[in-house]
Amino acid sequence: MGRKIGILGGTFDPIHIGHLRAALEVAESLQLDELKLVPSARPPHRDAPQASAADRLAMVRLAIAGVAPLTLDDRELQRASPSWTIDTLEALRAELQADDQLLLLLGWDAFCGLPGWHRWEELLTHCHLLVLQRPDADAEAPEALRDLIAARSISDPLALTGPGGKIAFVWQTPLAISATQIRQLLATGRSARFLLPDAVLTYIHAHRLYRASH
Ligand code: ATP
């Protein structure tokens, strides 16, 4: 059987315990061989990240040091132009064995916005979608996704087989932490301790990131 590889994209501006716990819990419960954190360049419909690509990469590297199976994949920041998720999946697929399983992690909100993504209907030819759902959520999927969910979803993510094509839901309570909150704390001179790994916070201070003067 092939390897099971998860993908979690984000700006990671900065990476925090919310990302790390979510990634680790999914990796453990789904018995992933690897979970790739993929920092993105400026995402469409969002402000540019405050920290540079080099700083965001350095912070992810520090956060996951020694934490198998989390790994850093810097391909989206190596490209000159912003990358679409479909491009990243195609590039990854080209490197993998045909029976390796790719699982793209998406929060419920991101999943609901899928019909606005570039070539979104092709995503499932390369991967499974793993939708992180809050246990207390009672959200309805948008109309545009209902047929897809009916046709592609399976109830047990551990029963996913094959390289891709299915949608599974993982019920997980996210920690109430966001990078926005951390940037605001730091910009106003308050402590962000215990919201992100100490090594990342030390890096932030050493490189004077997220200060009010930025
Ligand atoms: P910002 O506050 O700048 O919008 P963020 O904290 O939401 O940032 P992102 O880099 O945008 O972080 O998130 C990357 C991925 O991690 C997204 O899929 C997002 O849904 C998920 N994520 C963010 N925060 C948490 C959290 N506290 N728990 C679980 N997943 C999270």
Residue 211 lies in a domain: no
C-alpha 179 to ligand 1 mean position (Å): 7
- Closest-CA residue, ligand 1 atom 8, reads 179
Atom of ligand 1 nearest to the CA of 16: 6
Bridge-partner residues for 170, per DSSP? 132
Flag whether 212 is in a domain: no
Structural domain total, the chain: 1
- Ligand 1 geometric centre to CA of 38 (Å): 12
Mean pLDDT across the stretch 3-21?
Answer: 97
Is the minimum distance from the CB of 6 to ligand 1 under 6 angstroms?
A: no
H helices present in the chain, as ranges: 17-29, 53-64, 75-78, 85-95, 108-112, 123-126, 143-152, 179-187, 198-206
Q: Is 191 exposed, middle or buried (0-12, 13-18, 19+ CB in 10 A)?
A: exposed
pLDDT of residue 65: 97
**Is position 8 within any domain?**
yes
18 pocket-lining for ligand 1 (C-beta < 6 Å): yes
Is the C-beta atom of 175 inside 6 A of ligand 1? yes
- What pLDDT digit, counting tens, does each position of 91-136 carry? 999 999 999 999 999 999 899 999 999 999 999 999 999 999 988 7
Give the H or E element holding residue 9: strand 4-10
Domain assignment of residue 75, given as a range: 4-206
Q: Please, what's the largest Cα pairwise distance for the chain? A: 52
Atom 30 in ligand 1: which residue has the minimum CA distance? 19
Closest listed residue to residue 51, CA positions, set 155, 187, 169: 187
Say which CATH number the domain at 79 has: 3.40.50.620
- CA gap 210, 188 in Å, rounded: 9
Residue having the nearest C-alpha atom to atom 27 of ligand 1: 18
How much is the mean pLDDT over the chain? 93
pLDDT of residue 83: 82
Atom of ligand 1 nearest to the CA of 177: 27
Residues 28-60 have pLDDT tens digits of 999 999 999 999 987 666 678 899 999 999 999
Residue 213 lies in a domain: no
Task: Summarize pLDDT for 14-33 with one digit per residue, the tens.
Answer: 999 999 999 999 999 999 99
Instruction: Report if pTM > 0.75.
Output: yes
66 found inside a domain:
yes
Q: Residue 90 domain-assigned?
A: yes
By alpha-carbon position, which residue is closest to atom 17 of ligand 1? 10
Within a domain: residue 163? yes
With respect to residue 82, please indicate whether it lies within any of the assigned structural domains. yes
